[in-house]
Structure 1
Amino acid sequence: MRVVEVTAYGGPEVLRMARRPEPEAGDVPGRVRVRLKAAGVNQADLRIRAGHYADAVGALTPPFVLGTDFAGKLLDPVPGLEPGARVAGFVPWYTELTGEGTYAEIVRVAPEWLAPVPDDVEFTVAASLPLASATAQQGLDRLTLPPGATLLVTGASAVVGRLAVQYASAAGLRVVAVVHEGDESELRVLGADHVITRGTPEEVVAKVLEGDPDRVHAVFDGALVGEALLPVLRDDGVFLALAPDRVPVPERDIRVETVRAQPDVVRLKESLQKVADRELTTRVADVMPLEEAAEAHRRAEAGHRPGRIILMI
């Protein structure tokens, strides 16, 4: 089968097409096969490829296959799902550390990672959701904010941030969203109470304090800004970091939390159905063939446009 391998740590050029043996039914106990139709390109993929997390992945070294999010068709039966069922989920790449990601034609997954995809949700849309949705929901869980609290969400034009805005609004939080210029109206419709356009960290801080001079209760740092955002937080506020190299040092009794999302099939099934019912929106920025994974990384790093880049397989 075709895969895209990281051949060495470095820039997008280290991604190369390769061939690996196609997995066979039952060759790994407790795992089933999915023939992929689409796979998401996540920010974590870029950082792993560049070597930023080399220490965190321990003994795993190139060549390996990146990728967490996937959507496709089930090849082996599992309870409640027949072969041929449309499914989506994400591989907890950091937990598994097998180097078998979703930039591939077939993946082996645990049945408990799989959620059915409604018929009217395209594979490309489904593949944009699993990790982002889990990160947004589990991140908000860690913030433990009461209804009415004010939450700043950076990166609200991208997938994780826009989902965080929607889930936070549904939970009764007052949401301040940092967005790309031109997305202001859309994010208000999705639940943001106050919208500001992105800029340098200092500009964002100034804009937040202009609207909330008493500062906010929490920050959901979807844009991976880091400690430069601490001035917007109240003394007993809470900061959620999504990347291990963007975790600020606590100050002023600020609580700092991190999240590494784990599969939650119940919530994913609910979210996919909400997408089908037009009650939840994600964002696909580009759809590209698997062969162009290196170009997909280049576009993602350049901030080509907000949203998830999807590899068609």
Structure 2
Amino acid sequence: MLRTGGHAVRMTGRRPPFVPGMDAAGVIDQLGPGVEGRLAVGQRVVALVLFTGPHGGAYAEQVVVPAESVVPAPEGMGFPEASTLPMNAMTARLALDVLDLPPGGTVAVTGAVGAVGGYAVELARADGLMVIADAAPRDGETVRGFGADHVVGRGAGIAERIRTLVPEGVAGVVDGSAQTTELVPAISDGGTLVELRGWPGPAERGIRVCPVMVPDRIGDTAGLDTLCRQAEAGVLTPRVAQVLPAAEAARAHRLLEAGGLRGRVVLAFS
């Protein structure tokens, strides 16, 4: 989104060059004044990095971040896998928290085979929700493996397919694939559509449209730590499609732009 200008509204007054990247995994090299007890030099950690901050984003060999944005990495997990957690898993957690559905409720997740969507399915199941997820035919088993109770075809007609399963409509949708207006008919009166690509609505029948962005959780130490411990316990499944050297960042972005990835592209800076 930074590359295509999606975050411009958050960067008024800033001048390029911009350093992108919100996920980092590595080893603590130094601690700032007053940081003690929870973190230590040499510790394996992950960090949620605010690329709009004074030090830029995570595309760097060394990254300076507030201590509250850093937590211990999942035990037994490599840095490439661990680096997929901060931005994507936290975005999924934020989306579900905005929905605030009770255990036993039903949520629909689109873009379920993607990094955020997959985490949203797994977290929703851990929250005790029934999950309806979308997928192309070749991805159906993968999405079921995340814990989806029902898998429907994506694209035109998705609302009708969801209503076939839940005639009264679902109370909440996490839209990870920018299907926007296609999804509104699937939502019950007064329900909520959480948008991960910034669509603000409007929608009819009292449906709330809530665009969310993970920078709103940049200092949520407890939340990030919980996600890492869930990954440790196997609740979350990090997926890495490819690890590329940092010098091939442009190629990584071309892969993202082309689509079709079934996991994150990770840049290695060492």
Q: TM-score, normalised by structure 2?
A: 0.90
Structure 1 position 181, deviation (Å): 3.0
Q: Does 1:225 align with 2:179?
A: yes
2:107·2:170 contact (CA, 8 Å) conserved in 1?
yes
2:176·2:197 contact (CA, 8 Å) conserved in 1?
no
CA RMSD of aligned residues (A): 1.8
Partner of residue 96, structure 2:
140
Worse-superposed segment, 127-136 or 185-194: 185-194
**Residue ranges of structure 1 left out of the alignment (5+ in a row):** 1-46
Q: Does 1:87 align with 2:42?
A: no
Distance 2:137 2:242 in 1: 19
Q: Secondary structure at the match of 2:137?
A: coil
37, 41, 49: which one aligns with 2:3 = 49
Distance 1:193 1:208 in 2: 12
Q: Does 1:71 align with 2:29?
A: no
What is the identity, as a one-letter code, of the residue corresponding to 2:51? W
Distance 1:216 1:82 in 2: 45
1:158·1:283 contact (CA, 8 Å) conserved in 2?
no
Distance 1:257 1:282 in 2: 26
Partner of residue 19, structure 1:
none
Q: Does 1:265 align with 2:221?
A: yes
Deviations 1:125-164 (A, max 9, x none): 1100011111111211111212222211001111111111
Partner of residue 295, structure 1:
251
Deviations 1:65-113 (A, max 9, x none): 111111011011332222111110111334x3x3611111111110111
Structure 1 position 119, deviation (Å): 4.0
202, 205, 210: which one aligns with 1:249 = 202
Q: Secondary structure at the match of 2:64?
A: strand
Distance 1:293 1:131 in 2: 18
Distance 1:71 1:184 in 2: 30
Q: Secondary structure at the match of 1:217?
A: strand
Pairs aligned (count): 262
Q: TM-score, normalised by structure 1?
A: 0.78
Q: Secondary structure at the match of 2:98?
A: helix
Identity across aligned pairs (percent)? 38
155, 179, 194: which one aligns with 2:111 = 155
Worse-superposed segment, 121-130 or 182-191: 182-191
Q: Does 1:129 align with 2:85?
A: yes
Partner of residue 208, structure 1:
162
Worse-superposed segment, 76-85 or 133-142: 76-85
The equivalences for 1:14-53 within 5 A come to 47-53=1-7
In structure 2, the CA distance between the partners of 1:99 and 1:303, relative to structure 1 (3 Å rule), is: farther
Deviations 1:33-85 (A, max 9, x none): xxxxxxxxxxxxxx221224334410113211111111011011332222111
Partner of residue 233, structure 2:
277
52, 66, 87: which one aligns with 1:110 = 66
Structure 1 position 215, deviation (Å): 1.9
Distance 1:279 1:145 in 2: 19
In structure 2, the CA distance between the partners of 1:203 and 1:124, relative to structure 1 (3 Å rule), is: same
Distance 1:155 1:294 in 2: 24
**Residue ranges of structure 2 left out of the alignment (5+ in a row):** none
Runs of 4+ off more than 3 Å: none
Distance 1:211 1:85 in 2: 47
Distance 2:202 2:55 in 1: 31
